[in-house]
A = this chain, B = another copy of it.
Amino acid sequence: MTGEATAPDGGIQAGPLGVGETRLISLREIVDVNGSLLVGEVPDTLPFVARRFFALYDIPAGEARGTHAHRECEQFLVCLRGSVTALVDDGRTRREVRLDRAELGLYMPRLTWGTQSDYSPDALLMVFASHGYDADDYIHDYDEFRSLAGV
């Protein structure tokens, strides 16, 4: 895979990642003696209405998921348990973030190249998507992605 060098990231905090419009968004987490509640809500903490979701778990060490972009679909990733490394790339800049806190979600706009890897054994990754499944929405070729991203 081509593209700029990956810039591993240490701690993570809410805000833009410097990769297109990707950003980390704080969810509201309420922890008390009655248990923990995490809330995401359109538009502030869930960036779009979700027409589809995935939950990923029991992912073997060394397995990578993603490695594609979407023409139209936006995604929002929340690692509810464990941790996972998310790579985001807008065709110009590439960055990795370690998602290891449920209260920080990763927003990936359309035309963001992404891969998720290094799942911890207990990782549980929720992905919210703005669109239903459409095979034609997937871009699996990195050069085609860069071209569509106007690079």
Contacts and interface: CB of A to CB of B under 8 A. Distances in A.
Contacts of A34: 59-60, 63, 65
Most buried by B among A35, A65, A126: A35
Interface stretch (A9-17, A37-45, A91-99, A140-148): A37-45
B41 A133 contact: yes
A107 interface: no
Given A41-B133, A124-B80, A33 B50 contact: no
Nearest to A122: B81
A138 interface: no
Copies assembled? 2
A36 B49 contact: no
Interface string A110-151: 000000000100001010100011000000000000000000
Contact of A50 (B37, B38, B49): B49
A46 interface: yes
A54 to B, nearest CB: 5
A27 to B, nearest CB: 9
A56 interface: yes
Interface of A: 31, 33-42, 46, 49-60, 63, 65, 78, 80-81, 102, 119, 124, 126, 128, 132-133
| The 3 residue pairs across chains A and B that have the minimum distance between CB atoms | A35-B59, A49-B49, A38-B55
